[in-house]
Amino acid sequence: MTVRRVMGIETEYGVLQPGRPQANPMLLSSQVVTTYRALAARADGARGKARWDYDDEDPLQDARGFHLQRAAAHPSLLTDDPTRPAPSGPVPRDPAGAASFQEVARPTHEDYDDPSAANVILTNGARLYVDHAHPEYSSPEVTNPTDAVCWDVAGERIMLAASRELGAVPGAEVALYKNNVDGKGASYGTHENYLVDRAVPFATLVELLTPFLVTRQVFTGSGRVGLGSVGQEPGFQLSQRADYMEAEVGLETTLRRPIVNTRDEPHADRQRWRRLHLIIGDANLFEVATYLKLGTTSLVLFVVEQLDALSAVEGASGASLRAELAALRLHDPVSDVQKVSRDLDLTAPLLLADGRRLTALEVQRVYADVARRAAEHLGTLDDETRAVLDRWDSVLSRLGTDPASCAREVEWVAKLRLLDRLRRRDHLDWDHPRLAAMDLQWSDVRPERSIYHRLLAAGAAERLVDERAVSQAVHHAPEDTRAYFRGEVMARFGDEVSAASWDSVIFDVAGAPSLQRVPMLDPLRGTRAHIGALLEASKDAGALLTGLSGTSR
């Protein structure tokens, strides 16, 4: 059993311009991206302006076995058209949260850069671009949760660098926030991606994963001041995304947001893999929360992938594991997302489909126990898998007995403790604007303004990766996935790259009769072990392509 699989995180950052609340977020986001492009060119010597290759993208292919007609799709789904930026979806029209909605129009009140230009393929293998009027950092592919944390934090440093550079120009200051809500009804995403064996039926993934996703917010939630889509009710809750989940399963990402997203866009060999695209998670600054979010989800996916093998090898024991997970099906999972998020005591019972009632912690305990028993059945554990299992067990146990003991690991616990101290000291109700301001300040990417960074400096938040590793990750890709090839090519031969995507790089070599595409459908090829020596020996892209032609025979 192993926690290792290809995974990654996409984070849309909140953006505003101090003193200009009506500033166009598309323009601000474009400025962030293009500013970092210039910074990267200076820092890395990276050349060229490779475009993003949309040819292999199809956001309308549904994992349930059908393809949504383009004419029937909401514009927010059309993320494969670089000439027309997708709007963010609907926003509640009135603060009472009425059912009527007003569609967000494409920006017309201010000129903004061509969004196809606001796109950078970074030397660390990541993509930085404008998505739904937010600057988005899509991390490179990694193979384990510790690396996921490292390259996720590298994204924070990249956003900070762009913010600093813009702030040096009078009138161009931009504030960036690693959060998920703007307090006015809009939510922007932190999406997780996991490569999963396509042999597992999608319906099985939905059935066995949904209760886990609904309840994992007890340790992955980043905390939020306000209840309801526009914070219309006073209070505090575990998750920033919970109030925006409206469906159990669906293709959309910015309206009718589902617990399990059905976009079937693997960015890999479709015959072997699917990419499970999850949009329910919060943006986390606490590294342990990110680590557990990716690590526990990967473990549950491994168990689901291995259920048939477990049944074959262990007989009744293996079948029992499947039955235990299937028995966790919730009666109303969409409603339970909000119920868990509002359960600060972690004691609210959730109604299961079979009539039993379990708390979110109890549901998580079943998943953790099943994962542990599956590991025992399947044999040797690698160190990282054992570490995730042990941390998962420890956090669940302490949340059930002494939540305050998790304050260095679980983000919502730390945030609630700090806010409660302020409330008691100054006699503030939950709807006081100082609390909302503190919630926002928590996620500011600027260390001198960020409450999270103050906690970090005081040793009140646990680190899993050191800053030297993060600094390295800002400029260099993971060495054990195809991100290594993508990043190194951009660093060495960027002026000879016409376009790139997750699963290909297109070269434009002087003197060549045509563009040359290098496919990368296997995310575990193109690693340093596989291609490093050839890259070192290639003086230009032409030599690299010649060498690749030789190694592919």
- Please report, for residues 32, 75, 504, the alpha-carbon distance to residue 286 in angstroms, rounded to integers and kept in the order given: 24, 34, 33
Tokens (6 digits) for 509: 């070599």
> Under a CB-based contact definition with an 8 Å cutoff, are residues 422 and 439 in contact?
no
Question: Any catalytic annotation for residue 131?
Answer: yes
Catalytic residue among 44, 53, 131, 152: 131
Contact residues for 193 (Cβ-Cβ < 8 A; gap 6+)? 7, 8, 9, 10, 275, 276, 277, 278
Give the Cβ contact number of residue 309 at 10 Å.
13
> What is the C-alpha separation between 151 and 10, in angstroms, rounded?
11
Give Cα 443 to chain centroid, integer Å. Answer: 16
Answer for the pair 47, 130: CB distance below 8 angstroms, yes or no.
Answer: no
DSSP string, 361-385: HHHHHHHHHHHHHHHHHH----HHH
Indicate if the alpha-carbon torsion angle 515, 519, 520, 526 is positive or negative: negative
Dist CA 352 CA 327 (whole Å):
8
Residues in the chain: 553
452 φ/ψ angles, rounded to the nearest 5 degrees: -55, -45
Cα separations (Å) of 54 from 13, 174, 508, 514?
22, 29, 17, 19
Whether residue 193 contacts residue 241, with contact meaning beta carbons closer than 8 Å, is answered with no
Residue 462: its H or E element: none
User: Looking at the annotation, which residues are catalytic?
Assistant: 131
